[in-house]
Amino acid sequence: RRGVPIDIGKNFAKNQILQWWSVNSCSSSPNVIKNFLGDNQNSTLFLIEALNGKKISGYTECENEDEVILRMGTEFRVKGDPLAQLNSSCIV
């Protein structure tokens, strides 16, 4: 999971292929994601099925964040249309 505190869900469509060209940090902990999203209602949550992510929890200062790193250039396929939530947030 990765969360961003802005609504960018409209930028994605089912079966779209994209690449993230930076190293990205994700978490498998719902509580950590809630903190990253904050109280901002306009947010986007990415649910990611990672094949090549690396768990780094034992190597970071915040071991309880269940952190997973995705390499730069990681390719994604959007499996479904973004799901708008009642609070103006979005799930991709």
In tens, the pLDDT along 28-86 reads 888 888 777 766 678 888 888 888 889 988 888 777 788 899 999 999 999 988 887 77
Q: What is the pLDDT of residue 40?
A: 61
Q: Which two tokens stand for residue 59?
A: 């190597």
Hey, what domains does the chain have and what are their CATH numbers? 2-91 (3.90.176.10)
21 pLDDT band, cuts 50/70/90, is very high
Q: What is the pTM of this model?
A: 0.78
Q: What is the pLDDT of residue 60?
A: 81
Q: CB-based contacts of 56: which residues, under 8 Å, 6+ apart?
A: 67, 68, 69
- Say if residue 4's pLDDT is above 60: yes
